[in-house]
Structure 1
Amino acid sequence: MRSNSRRHELLASASYIVEHLGMEKLTLEAVAKHAGVSKGGLLHHFPNKEAIVTAMIEEFGDTFLSELQQKSSESIDEAGKWSRAYIETTFHDPKTTAALSTALLAVLFSKPELLAAYNKKNNVLQADILNDGIAPVNAAIIKLATDGLWFSEIFGVGMLDEDLRKQVEERLMKMSFEAK
C-alpha cells in the first residue's frame, strides 16, 4: 500500500510543479526534490517524464470521473443527475479539478496524443450528460458552460467575480431540473 501512496505523492508533486512553476519546470529531478525522494526512488515508479504525464492524466482523469459517478449516484432526482454532478464537481471540488487541469496542461504541452484516451472517457461522460433525462440542448449548454468556466479559470482569462459565478451556477443547476 505504501507504494501506491508514494506513487500518488509523486503525481501530486508533478501536479504542483505544473500548476505553480509551469510545464517547462517539470523534470524528474524537480519531482523527486519536491516529493522528498531520491531520483532512484522516483525512477522506481516512473522511468521517465512521459510516464509521469501519462499517469497524471490516467489517475487524475479517473479520479474526476469517479467523483462524478459518486455524486450522480447520490442524486434523489434521476433526471439531470449527471449534469448536476458535473456542475457540483467542477464548481466545488477544487482539489479534483485542479489535479485534472494540471494533467490536461501537462498532456497538452508534452504529449498531446494522450488526450485521445482521456477524450474517450470524456465522450462517455458527455453521452451520460446528453442522455440525462433533461432537454438535450440544456444538457449541452450545461456541459459547455461549465467547461468554459473551468477553462477560463485554468487560463486566468474571462474570469467571473464570485457573485456572478454563483449566479451562473444557480442558473445551470436550474436548467438541470428542466424536463424534456
Structure 2
Amino acid sequence: MDINPKQTHSLHLSLFRAAEAIVSELGASQLTFATLSERTGVDESTLSTLFPDREALLTAMIEHRLERFRVRWGAYESVLPDEPMRELKALLLSNMSESTEEKNLDSAIFAAAASNPALLQTTSDDIQGLFDILEKSPLGLAQAAILFFSVRGYRLFEQIGICPMTDSQRTEFQEQIMRLARIMYEQKNEE
C-alpha cells in the first residue's frame, strides 16, 4: 500500500482512535493487530508495515497521546490570565481534563509496560520536562509537586477504576486544587 505522508498521518489517527476504542471497550489485552484490523478494515500486513509489533503501536500511541496533552496544555495556557502561576495552573488543568479514551490508553500502557518497561521511556522523558516546569514555578518544586502528585494520584485512581468520585465530586476536587494553588501562591508571596 503506497500512501503519502498526509495519508499516513490520517491513517495513524484513525488507527489510534480505533485502538483506544478497543482498549476502552474490551481491555488492553484485546489490543492486537487482528482486532485492530477487524475494527478498521486495514489488513494486518499493512499494520505490520506501519508498526513492526504491538509495542511499536503502543509507543506511537503514547507519542500521539503526549502531543494531544501538549495541545490541551497550550490551550489552557492561552486562556488563563497572564500571571506567574499560569503555566502551573495550565499543567494541572490539562491533567485533570483528560478524556475517557486517554485514561483508558494510560491503563493499556500500564498493562503493556508490566511486561515491557521500555515502553515507559517516552513518558519518562516527558515527565522530566514536567519536573523542570514544577521546579521553575513560583511555588518551587516541593509545593508544586504536592499539587501535581495530587492530580496524578487522582488520575491514577481513575485509570485503574477505583475512584469512587461522582462527576460533581470530581468538579469540586478540581476547583479545590486550583483554590489550593492560589492559596499556596499567596502564602509564598507573603513570606
Query: TM-score when scaled to structure 1?
Result: 0.85
- Structure 2 stretches of 5 or more lacking a match? 1-5
Please tell me the root mean square deviation across aligned C-alpha atoms, in Å: 2.3
Q: 1:64 to 1:4 in 2, by over 3 A?
A: same
Check whether the contact 2:18–2:36 (CA below 8 A) recurs between aligned residues: yes
CA shift in 2, pair 1:175/1:138, >3 Å: farther
Q: 1:103 Cα deviation (Å)?
A: 5.3
Whether 1:86 aligns to 2:91 is: yes
Is 1:5 aligned to 2:14, yes or no? Answer: no
SS in 1 for 2:182: coil
| Number of residues of Structure 1 aligned to a counterpart in Structure 2 | 180
Q: 1:107 to 1:64 in 2, by over 3 A?
A: farther
Deviation string 1:35-81 (CA, Å, 9 cap, x unpaired) is: 12222332232222121111111221232133223422443233222
Aligned-partner residue type, residue 2 of structure 1: Q
In 1, the alpha carbon distance for the partners of 2:91 and 2:105 equals: 14
Amino acid at match of 1:58: E
Question: 1:10 & 1:83 partners in 2: Cα distance?
Answer: 32
Matched-pair identity in %: 24
- Between the aligned partners of 1:114 and 1:167, the Cα distance in structure 2 is 34
Read off the aligned partner of 1:166 and give its amino acid letter: T
- Equivalent residue number for residue 55 of structure 2: 50
Q: Point out where structure 1 has 5 or more consecutive residues left out of the alignment.
A: none
**Would you identify which runs of 4 or more consecutive aligned residues in structure 1 move more than 6 Å?**
none
Q: 1:168 to 1:138 in 2, by over 3 A?
A: farther
Q: Distance in 2 between matches of 1:18 and 1:117?
A: 20
Contact 2:89 2:178 in 1 (8 A): yes
State how 1:74-153 maps to structure 2 within 5 Å: 74-94=79-99, 97-98=102-103, 100-102=105-107, 104-105=109-110, 107-134=112-139, 136-153=141-158
Query: Following the alignment from structure 2 to structure 1, what is the Cα–Cα distance between the partners of residues 119 and 107?
Result: 14
